[in-house]
């Protein structure tokens, strides 16, 4: 009887394990979503993920595994005792402690964005080596490599308070691709972009000069990739003033987690033409806050609207959907362009038919004369383009020289180099 009781207890224990622990297959996945069963999970998928299933129904899939527990470090949680206060039209905030999550109990959509942006500042400094792979429609891969050092001077282990509103000292060196190798950017980032806008300097090895770079903001493209803008770096990085912000809700969704194996395998294996190899991606069910940003009237930005998915446990932006001015996901831009070409072609054919219907004689004359006029137009166009290209090139050189002189006026005066700069300008004018 005693043995029977032990066996029953063991069987009961095993049954409870299988009931309450997620079923994980041999690959470590709890389940897989593909185009055949995507509709069952549609409510838990981002709009971008749904579009990927539509675009690549035969190759795209999502492997969902057990969720990895994530929370604020104990020291950060201890500093984050209460919400701060947003000031200056929400472009800055005041918090009790530096190095804290500014809004541990978020009640406003921008609270989540502030938490995500300031998350890095809970560290004293960050050294990061980053590889950005850009894959074109033919499968060709261009690699961008950057090494970045970020210091947070107001972190409690350094100073303890945000002096003059300074948040981060950011230095980034580009190692690839070849066209930007050696280009180095220095950024002073402030908490309050209203009172203290971002200050940036750029060093170019081609000119061996350091220049102010006021354009390292908003939708300026980053050096390492033609697909990422400055305020998209690190998911969101910069001022929030161009958008109206709205909290769409908090819910459990399927989002990307920490992926393993991508950096340990060749790019040809991990990357495809349309998407990353799904076998190297890990997804999990996470509770996220859905924050939507819509471009304000009168403002300009490459992204007309953006949806951010922010985890509620540690305030990381784990995914985002980016839309163009027509409200379409930007990855549909090629399809839209092709549609426009077809529409314009049909319009042209219709107008030609109208010409012949109105007066067939004039239409015939037009079709005979216009082709003959193409040849002198081509010759004139070539000469005009050559002259314009030369003029723009010289104007660019002259503008660049003036910009160097004006921005470096203090250095020119300090080293008594007015005559030297005047001679350089005269030489340029004579050339």
> At 167, is the pLDDT very low, low, confident or very high (cuts 50, 70, 90)?
confident
Check residue 26 and give its pLDDT. 46
* pLDDT tens digit sequence for 110-163: 999 999 998 887 877 888 888 888 777 777 888 889 999 988 876 665 544 556
Mean pLDDT of 340-357: 69
Whether the per-residue pLDDT at 13 is higher than 60: the answer is: no
27-36, 57-66, 308-317: the lowest-pLDDT one = 27-36
What is the pLDDT averaged over residues 212-241?
A: 85
pLDDT digits (tens, 9 = 90+) for 73-106: 888 888 888 999 999 999 999 888 878 899 999 9
pLDDT band at 348 (very low <50, low <70, confident <90, very high): confident
pLDDT on residue 336: 45
Give the tens place of pLDDT for each residue, 117-132.
Answer: 988 878 778 888 888 8
Q: Is 415 a residue whose pLDDT tops 70? A: no
Confidence band for 14, pLDDT divided at 50, 70 and 90: very low
Peptide bond just before 346 cis, omega within 30 deg: no
pLDDT tier for residue 396 given thresholds of 50, 70 and 90: low
pLDDT at site 315: 94
pLDDT value for 357:
82
Model confidence at 5: pLDDT above 60 = no
Q: Mean pLDDT throughout 16-42?
A: 68
Predicted confidence at residue 9, as pLDDT, reads 39
Domains in the chain, please, with CATH? 74-327 (2.50.20), 359-430 (no CATH)
CA-CA distance, 128 to 150, in Å (whole number)? 8
pLDDT of 15 above 70: no
Q: Please give the pLDDT value at position 23.
A: 47
Question: So what's the pLDDT on residue 337?
Answer: 44
pLDDT, average across residues 280-286: 91
Confidence of residue 233 (pLDDT cuts 50, 70, 90): confident
Output the pLDDT for position 391. 65
Give me 308's structure tokens.
């951010």
The pLDDT of residue 162 is: 56
Q: Is pLDDT above 50 for 17? A: no
Compute the distance between CA of residue 278 and CA of residue 257 in angstroms, rounded to an integer.
13
% of the chain with per-residue pLDDT over 90: 30
Q: What's the rounded mean pLDDT across residues 366-381? A: 76
CB 135 within 8 A of CB 273: yes
- For 259-273, 326-340, 358-372, which range has the lowest pLDDT when averaged over its residues? 326-340
pLDDT of residue 289: 97
Distances (CA, A) of 370 to 249, 367, 378, 382: 60, 6, 12, 18
Q: For position 310, what pLDDT does the model report?
A: 95
What average pLDDT does the structure give for the chain?
A: 80
Higher local confidence (pLDDT), 85 or 222: 85
What is the percent of the chain with per-residue pLDDT over 70, rounded to a whole number?
A: 77
**Pairwise CA distance, residues 322 & 48, whole Å:** 8
Paired with 210 in beta bridges are: 203
């Amino acid at each position: 009887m005693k043995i029977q009781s032990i066996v029953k207890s063991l069987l009961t224990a095993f049954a409870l394990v299988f009931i309450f622990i997620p079923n994980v297959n041999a690959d470590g996945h709890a389940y897989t979503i593909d185009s055949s069963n995507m509709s069952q999970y549609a409510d838990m998928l981002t709009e971008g993920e749904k579009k990927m299933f539509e675009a690549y129904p035969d190759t795209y899939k999502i492997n969902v595994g057990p969720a990895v527990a994530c929370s604020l470090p104990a020291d950060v949680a201890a500093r984050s005792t209460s919400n701060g206060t947003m000031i200056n039209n929400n472009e800055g905030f005041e918090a009790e402690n530096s190095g804290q999550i500014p809004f541990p109990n978020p009640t406003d959509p921008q609270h989540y964005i502030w938490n995500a942006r300031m998350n890095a500042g809970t560290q004293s400094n960050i050294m990061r080596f980053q590889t950005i792979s850009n894959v074109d429609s033919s499968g060709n891969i261009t690699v961008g490599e950057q090494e970045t050092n970020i210091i947070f001077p107001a972190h409690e282990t350094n100073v303890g308070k945000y002096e003059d509103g300074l948040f981060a000292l950011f230095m980034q060196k580009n190692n690839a691709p070849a066209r930007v190798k050696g280009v180095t950017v220095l950024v002073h980032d402030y908490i309050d972009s209203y009172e203290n806008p971002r200050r940036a300097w750029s060093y170019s090895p081609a000119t061996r000069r350091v220049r102010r770079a006021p354009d390292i903001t908003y939708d300026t493209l980053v050096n390492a990739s033609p697909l990422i803008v400055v305020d998209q770096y690190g998911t969101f990085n910069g001022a929030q003033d161009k958008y109206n912000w709205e909290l769409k809700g908090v819910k459990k969704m399927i989002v990307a987690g920490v992926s393993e194996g991508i950096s340990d395998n060749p790019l040809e294996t991990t990357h495809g033409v349309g998407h990353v190899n799904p076998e190297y991606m890990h997804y999990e069910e996470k509770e996220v806050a859905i924050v939507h940003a819509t471009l304000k009237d009168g403002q300009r930005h490459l992204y007309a609207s953006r949806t951010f998915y922010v985890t509620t446990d540690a305030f990381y932006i784990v995914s985002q959907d980016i839309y163009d001015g027509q409200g379409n996901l930007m990855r549909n831009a090629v399809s839209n362009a092709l549609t426009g070409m077809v529409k314009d072609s049909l319009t042209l054919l219709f107008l030609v038919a109208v010409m012949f219907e109105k007066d067939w004689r004039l239409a015939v004359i037009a079709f005979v004369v216009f082709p003959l006029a193409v040849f002198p137009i081509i010759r004139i166009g070539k000469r005009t383009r050559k002259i314009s290209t030369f003029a723009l090139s010289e104007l660019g050189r002259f503008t660049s020289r003036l910009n160097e002189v004006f921005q470096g006026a203090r250095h020119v005066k300090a080293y008594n180099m007015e005559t030297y700069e005047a001679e350089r300008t005269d030489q340029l004018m004579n050339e």
